Structure 1
Amino acid sequence: MTAPALRRPFLVWRQRITLSTLACMAVLIAASLAAVFGRLLFPDAMHQDIMTGLVPPGSVGHLLGTDELGRDVLAMSVAGAGSALLGPVCVAVGSMLVGVLLGTLAGYERGPIDFVISRWTDLLLALPLLLAAIVVGGVLGGGYWVTVVLLVILFSPSDTRIVRAGVLEQSARSYVEAAQMLSLSRWRVMFRHILPNVSTLIVTNVMLNVAFALVAFSSLSFLGVGVPQGTADWGAQLAANREIMFDNPAAVFVPALLIVVVACAVNLVGDWLGQRLAQHGETM
Structure 2
Amino acid sequence: MAERLAVLSRRTGWRLPARRRRAPVLVIVAGCVLAAAAGMMILPGVAPHDPEFIDGAAALQGPSPRHWLGTDELGRDVFSRIVAGARTGLLGPLILALGTTVLAILVAVVAGYAGGRTDAVIGRVIDVLYAVPPLVVAIVVVGITGGGWWTALAVLLVFGLPMNMRLLRSAVIVRVRLPYVEAARTAGLSSVRIMVFHLLPAVASFVVAVFFLTFTYGIVDLSAMSFLGLGVPPGSSDWGRMIAENRAYLLQNAWATIGPTVAVVLVAVSANVVGDWIHSRYESHGRTR
Letter in 2 for 1:18: P
Question: 1:185: Cα distance to partner?
Answer: 2.2
Match of 2:39 in 1: 33
Match of 1:259 in 2: 264
Letter in 2 for 1:229: P
Residues 54, 68 of structure 1: 8 Å contact kept: yes
The one of 107, 110, 134 equivalent to 1:105 is 110
Letter in 1 for 2:212: M
Match of 1:48 in 2: 54
Letter in 2 for 1:32: A
Match of 1:142 in 2: 147
For residues 21-170 of structure 1, the aligned pairs below 5 Å read 21-39=27-45, 41=47, 44-58=50-64, 61-170=66-175
User: How far, CA to CA, are the matches of 1:53 and 1:69 in structure 2?
Assistant: 5
Match of 2:10 in 1: none
Question: 1:40: Cα distance to partner?
Answer: 5.2
Question: 1:43: Cα distance to partner?
Answer: 7.3
Q: TM-score normalized by structure 2?
A: 0.89
Question: 1:45: Cα distance to partner?
Answer: 0.7
Distance 1:71 1:43, change over 3 A: closer
- 1:73-92 per-residue CA deviation (whole Å, 9 max, x = no partner) reads 01101111111011111111
User: How far, CA to CA, are the matches of 1:150 and 1:54 in structure 2?
Assistant: 36
Residues 218, 226 of structure 1: 8 Å contact kept: no
Stretches of structure 2 that go unaligned for 5 or more consecutive residues are: 7-17
Aligned residues: 279
Match of 1:180 in 2: 185
User: How far, CA to CA, are the matches of 1:149 and 1:39 in structure 2?
Assistant: 28
Match of 1:279 in 2: 284
The one of 12, 26, 35 equivalent to 1:20 is 26
Question: 1:4: Cα distance to partner?
Answer: 5.5
Instruction: Tell me the secondary structure at the aligned position of residue 53 of structure 2.
Output: coil
Distance 1:154 1:181, change over 3 A: same
Question: 1:194: Cα distance to partner?
Answer: 0.9
Q: TM-score normalized by structure 1?
A: 0.90
User: How far, CA to CA, are the matches of 2:48 and 2:112 in structure 1?
Assistant: 48
User: How far, CA to CA, are the matches of 2:20 and 2:243 in structure 1?
Assistant: 39
Question: 1:37: Cα distance to partner?
Answer: 0.9
The one of 200, 210, 213 equivalent to 2:215 is 210
Residues 93, 216 of structure 2: 8 Å contact kept: yes
Stretches of structure 1 that go unaligned for 5 or more consecutive residues are: none
Letter in 2 for 1:64: L
Residues 49, 77 of structure 2: 8 Å contact kept: no
Match of 1:195 in 2: 200
Residues 40, 46 of structure 2: 8 Å contact kept: no
Distance 1:43 1:153, change over 3 A: farther
Letter in 1 for 2:44: G
Question: 1:105: Cα distance to partner?
Answer: 1.6
Instruction: Tell me the secondary structure at the aligned position of residue 51 of structure 1.
Output: helix
Residues 27, 277 of structure 2: 8 Å contact kept: yes
Of the structure 1 ranges 125-134 and 139-148, higher mean CA displacement relative to structure 2 is found in 139-148
- CA-based RMSD of the aligned residues comes to 2.3
Question: 1:198: Cα distance to partner?
Answer: 0.6
